[in-house]
Amino acid sequence: MSKEEIKKIKIVKMVPDDVPMVFALEERVNPKHHWSKDSFYNELSNKLASYFSIKDEKKNILAYIGFWQIIEEAHVTNLAVDPDYRRNGFASILLLKTIEECYKNMVKFITLEVRESNTAAINLYEKFLFSSVGVRKNYYQDNGENALIMFTQNIWYDKFKNNFRNIKESINKAEYLYDE
């Protein structure tokens, strides 16, 4: 993807009309075991859930993220980037958007599960100051792989806020169109 094309991406709140395209992306990212269309429709009607996607200028969905907010904790349920558009910073942009939403909603902690073998995702989450706090044995249904449970410190602590600011500044310097 060229820099000019990247400048034209937008982060938008996911709506039901997006589900067929999100589902097609989900099938590409997780061909053996993926969420169903009904799962996405249910998530979009779930009052605890928030979903955002990155769209190009043609309105194609290149990546998406979802999370639940339960009182002062957010749980990332799903993050996927189209394999053809990886290494463009889209996962970081979506995590930044999630953290912004968490600040707006007075969330204190963010948690998620990630495959033990997914070192790229683990490295990304560690960049955002997630730490591994445990393991869910045989968590993934497709192959019985374990999941690392990752958690942030309180996102209102200075260390986290400064890290968030630094990552956001580095993304903005890369000239992404970073807004809805």
Which pLDDT tens digit goes with each residue over 112-141?
A: 999 999 999 999 999 999 999 999 998 887
In the structure encoding, which two tokens stand for residue 94, read together? 């979506």
Helix axis angle, 119-127 to 90-104, nearest 10°: 40
Helix axis angle, 158-173 to 90-104, nearest 10°: 140
Quick check: 71 and 106 in contact, CB under 8 A?
A: no
Quick check: 92 and 167 in contact, CB under 8 A?
A: yes
Q: pLDDT by residue (tens digit) across 33-83?
A: 788 899 999 999 999 999 999 998 889 999 999 999 999 999 999 999 999
Per DSSP bridges, beta strands 109-115 and 73-81 are parallel
Q: Count Cβ neighbours within 10 Å for each residue of 27-62 and write b for 16 or more, e otherwise.
A: eebeeeebbeeeebeebbeeeebbbbbbbeeeeebb
Q: Provide the pLDDT confidence category of residue 3 given band limits of 50, 70 and 90.
A: low
pLDDT of residue 32: 75
Q: How much is the pTM?
A: 0.90
Q: pLDDT by residue (tens digit) across 144-175?
A: 889 999 999 999 999 999 999 999 988 875 55
pLDDT of residue 173: 57
**Active site residues per annotation:** 113, 125
